[in-house]
Chain A
Amino acid sequence: MTNQHDALLDLYRQMVLIRRFEEAAAKAYSQGKIGGFLHLYIGQEASAVGALSTLTRDDYVVGTYRDHGLALARGMSARSCMAEIYGKVTGCSQGLGGSMHFFDAERRMMGGYGIVGGHVPLAAGCAFAAKYRGSGEVALCFLGEGAVSIGDFHEAMSLAALWKLPLVTIVENNEYSMGTPLSRTMSVADSSTKALAYNMARDRFEAKDVLVVRERIGAAVERARRESLPTLIEVQTYRYRGHSMSDPGKYRTADEVEARKKDDCIANAERSLRALGAGDDVFARVDQEIEAAVDDAVRFADESAEPGEELIEAYTYA
């Protein structure tokens, strides 16, 4: 098989892992095994997977509460992610943070953040540190289109442009901010135009093909790495599930959702792989592998212990 085939297969596998992982999490939520909040990324996988495939292991990643896809694409283990969702001590935040607050310093996954928009300046800070050190790392920051209205976003863009920070900011426009369609939260349809006010490079494209995502984000990452210049990118995508598990999604029709599912990033990648020569056996193997990994993660989470009070005490101050 060709290099192209192998590279795409790797991305495909990551996308399938994210989807199956989240389906399992959704099931556990419905069974009452987990509570709190659960924001699924299903439908948007190509965005995180394509984007993160352009990074080196030292680059920084910062995201929102919709962070399972980012975490898995960054190489965090399904076990530690599922255990965190289950609130167990073996989770990436010892069960203290939950689904919205994944973190892995070693992989420079600098966290999922629950307070909308507040994380964008922080990503600029990571980029500043990298620039200051002259170490060549890049920071990648994800947010939703709803968050573009928040002051923190603009403050971060202002800073990134002024200081020429190696920051790539990715607005994942999934068309809804909870139950509010984009047209009711923003005066423009294209959030990347906000870059104009800051004299910053921008881009905008659909995340239906993971290779396109990889190429376009890759160009911005290169600009950040080589020229130390920020870019604002709008990735057009769609979430198939509700805002979180508690949202029945009545603000859009079932027809709309079904129509969008027809142009699915995983199905598209499968089609491309078949065109490159992949046969049924390849997909059967991936399915099997992923199923085993997800089952293992669920079992691990189920059987892990809960955090105790001593833990929280130990983690309140450094």
Chain B
Amino acid sequence: MAETTYIDAIRRGLLEEMERDAAVFLMGQDIARFGGAFRATKGLYERFGRLRVVNTPLFESGAIGAALGAALAGKRPVVEMQFADFVSCGFNQIVNNLAKTYYRWEAEVPVVVRLPYGGGVGAGPFHSQSPEAWFAHTPGLAVVAPSTPRDAIGLMKSAIRDPNPVIYLEHRVLYRREKEDLGEGDLTTPLGRARIAREGSDVTVLTWGWTVHEALDAAAEAAKSGVSVEVVDLRTLVPLDEETVFAAAKKTGKIVVVHEATATAGYGAELVARLADLCFEHLDGPILRVAYPDRPSPYNKNLEKELLPGKAKILDAVRRLARY
């Protein structure tokens, strides 16, 4: 069976939803013939034509605002940002308009905003950020971040079908690196459900996106020295799957929260707060956090590598906590 990459899984999700529902259409810069900056929409223009794979001028606010309007008028737009960092130019449309339209009028706005995000390729301070916390902080938005091809397609399909605006974070390093055999069928992943990526009994790692793979590598390494690590891939940050997350946390009582975004006021802080509040009796140590230091991303690739919360840093935290 042929393996599907993460980015091809995203494309397949878009394609299948466009075939299933004529209201689904795509908007973005250079997404038509060019296929988008990362070629995520390659071939879709040829298949669905210019009314459903729409190139916009170079703007983000205009695109997201127009998507909201189209959604109010019955469409299901999927808007591509070329890089997640540029979504800042569409911030008002997301946090004020997209997020609160249902609250004001009970009008559903099924808009998906795709954010290619993350560092690791020496892209510098404005093309490397992980902005999930900006949106997790805003009530009214769902926030998802798949780490595997299976969830890339599954969450894409579910996000498009969801009646709420969904911020869909797709990690650029995973695009062509992660591959798996997806098989046939309508592969959805429900929003709001975490996944146990690896079972373990000593320490629990809670994470999402690129760091899921780093945590799995760290877990494999820890196993060699007899430390059994459970890795939870959150997949959806909002709404959080408290049931799965809390169960995994209680199982070991030792928790490491890992994310690529900067530490202060990152989504990990929210997890730590909820665990401290709702799982306190089950904790056997401090909850540790492994995140990017509170610094912008450097352009120099080697320096960036040192700062990223990769396998070695996770392993360190796991070992420290296991000994506790």
Q: Is the CB of B299 within 8 A of A95?
A: yes
- Interface flag for B158 (CB, 8 Å): no
Number of interface residues of B (CB under 8 A): 34
Cα separation A313 to B298 with both chains bound (whole Å): 11
Chain B positions within 8 Å of A184 at CB level: 55
Q: Is the CB of A178 within 8 A of B34?
A: yes
Q: Which stretch in B94-102, B122-130, B173-181, B218-226 binds the other chain?
A: B122-130
Chain A positions within 8 Å of B294 at CB level: 316
Q: Which of B102-121 contact A (CB under 8 A)?
A: 121
- Interface flag for B207 (CB, 8 Å): no
Cα separation A116 to B295 with both chains bound (whole Å): 22
Chain B positions within 8 Å of A307 at CB level: 298, 300, 303
Q: Is the CB of A150 within 8 A of B37?
A: no
Q: Which of B57-102 contact A (CB under 8 A)?
A: 57-59, 61-62, 85-86, 88-89
- Interface flag for A186 (CB, 8 Å): yes
A97/B125 contact (C-beta < 8 A), A151-B61, A306-B303 known: yes
- Interface flag for A205 (CB, 8 Å): no
- Tell which of A150, A186, A308 has the most Cβ of chain B within 10 Å: A150
Nearest CB in chain A to that of B300: its residue: A87
- Interface flag for A71 (CB, 8 Å): no
Provide the B132-173 mask, 1 if CB < 8 A to any CB of A, else 0. Answer: 000000000000000000000000000000000000000000
Q: Which of B265-324 contact A (CB under 8 A)?
A: 293-296, 298-303, 306-307
- Interface flag for B236 (CB, 8 Å): no
Q: Which of B10-39 contact A (CB under 8 A)?
A: 29-30, 33-34, 37
Nearest CB in chain A to that of B127: its residue: A114
Q: Is the CB of A149 within 8 A of B57?
A: yes
Q: Is the CB of B34 within 8 A of A312?
A: no
A87/B122 contact (C-beta < 8 A), A115-B85, A149-B57 known: yes
Minimum distance in angstroms from A278 CB to a CB of chain B = 40
Chain B positions within 8 Å of A114 at CB level: 124-127
Minimum distance in angstroms from B84 CB to a CB of chain A = 12
Cα separation A179 to B29 with both chains bound (whole Å): 9
- Tell which of B55, B88, B299 has the most Cβ of chain A within 10 Å: B299
Chain B positions within 8 Å of A180 at CB level: 29-30, 34, 55, 58
Q: Is the CB of B86 within 8 A of A115?
A: yes
Minimum distance in angstroms from A179 CB to a CB of chain B = 4
- Interface flag for A158 (CB, 8 Å): no
- Residue from the list A99, A115, A185, A316 in contact with B88, Cβ < 8 A: A115
Chain A positions within 8 Å of B122 at CB level: 35-36, 87, 98
Q: Is the CB of B59 within 8 A of A35?
A: no
Q: Is the CB of A36 within 8 A of B58?
A: no
- Interface flag for A126 (CB, 8 Å): no
Chain A positions within 8 Å of B124 at CB level: 36-37, 96-98, 100-101, 114
Q: Is the CB of B298 within 8 A of A95?
A: yes
Cα separation A184 to B293 with both chains bound (whole Å): 41
Cα separation A305 to B314 with both chains bound (whole Å): 28
- Residue from the list B57, B123, B298 in contact with A96, Cβ < 8 A: B298
Cα separation A20 to B59 with both chains bound (whole Å): 33
- Residue from the list A88, A149, A312, A313 in contact with B58, Cβ < 8 A: A149
Q: Which of A143-161 contact B (CB under 8 A)?
A: 146-147, 149-152
Q: Is the CB of B299 within 8 A of A308?
A: no
Chain B positions within 8 Å of A115 at CB level: 85-86, 88-89, 126
- Residue from the list B33, B86, B299 in contact with A98, Cβ < 8 A: B299
- Residue from the list A151, A178, A251, A309 in contact with B59, Cβ < 8 A: A151
Cα separation A100 to B124 with both chains bound (whole Å): 9
- Interface flag for A118 (CB, 8 Å): yes
- Tell which of B86, B123, B303 has the most Cβ of chain A within 10 Å: B303
Q: Which of A89-126 contact B (CB under 8 A)?
A: 93, 95-101, 114-118
Provide the B41-61 mask, 1 if CB < 8 A to any CB of A, else 0. Answer: 000000000000001011101
Chain A positions within 8 Å of B306 at CB level: 309
Q: Is the CB of A96 within 8 A of B89?
A: no
Q: Is the CB of B299 within 8 A of A101?
A: yes
Nearest CB in chain B to that of A88: its residue: B300
Chain B positions within 8 Å of A177 at CB level: 29-30, 58
Q: Which of B221-256 contact A (CB under 8 A)?
A: none
Provide the A30-58 mask, 1 if CB < 8 A to any CB of B, else 0. Answer: 00000111000000000000000000000
Cα separation A115 to B37 with both chains bound (whole Å): 15
Minimum distance in angstroms from A182 CB to a CB of chain B = 10
Cα separation A308 to B295 with both chains bound (whole Å): 13
Cα separation A118 to B59 with both chains bound (whole Å): 11
- Residue from the list A116, A118, A150, A316 in contact with B296, Cβ < 8 A: A316
Cα separation A93 to B300 with both chains bound (whole Å): 11
Cα separation A146 to B55 with both chains bound (whole Å): 13
A–B complex contacts, Cβ < 8 Å, 13 sampled: A36-B124, A36-B127, A87-B303, A100-B124, A100-B126, A114-B125, A115-B126, A177-B58, A180-B34, A251-B33, A306-B300, A312-B298, A313-B295
New contact pairs (8) apart from A150-B89, A152-B89, CB-CB < 8 Å:
A35-B122, A36-B299, A37-B127, A87-B299, A100-B126, A101-B126, A117-B59, A307-B298
**A contacts, CB < 8 Å to B:** 35-37, 87-88, 93, 95-101, 114-118, 146-147, 149-152, 177-180, 184-186, 251, 306-309, 312-313, 316
